[in-house]
A = this chain, B = another copy of it.
Amino acid sequence: MPYVNIRVTNEGVTAEQKQQLIEGSTDLLQRVLNKDPATTFVIIDEVETDNWGVNRENVTTRRQREKAGK
C-alpha cells in the first residue's frame, strides 16, 4: 500500500511524462518491496517556480540566472 508523492516545479510536464512517473514509481515499489500495484498511489504536485526555493532563491530567479549564463 505505498503512497508516493512526487513534487516538481511546474515547468511544462506533459501528461505522458506524468504517466511515466506513475508507472516507474509503481514498478519500483513492486520490484524492491513486492508491493501490489493495485494499492500503490502516486501523486504528482506541480509547484509554481515562485513558490520553490533552493539556495535562498526561488526557481524563477534561478532559471533566469541560468539562461543569462551566470
Please, how many residues of chain A have a CB less than 8 angstroms from a CB on the other chain?
51
Interface residues of A in 5-62 (CB under 8 A from B): 5-9, 13, 15, 17-29, 31-33, 35, 37-47, 50-61
Copies of this chain, complex-wide, total: 6
Most chain B CB within a 10 A radius of its CB, from A25, A37, A61: A25
- B residues near A9, Cβ cutoff 8 Å: 1
Given A23-B56, A38-B54, 5 more A-B residue pairs with CB atoms under 8 Å apart are A2-B8, A8-B35, A21-B28, A23-B53, A25-B25
The chain A residues found within 8 Å of chain B, CB to CB, are 1-9, 13, 15, 17-29, 31-33, 35, 37-47, 50-61
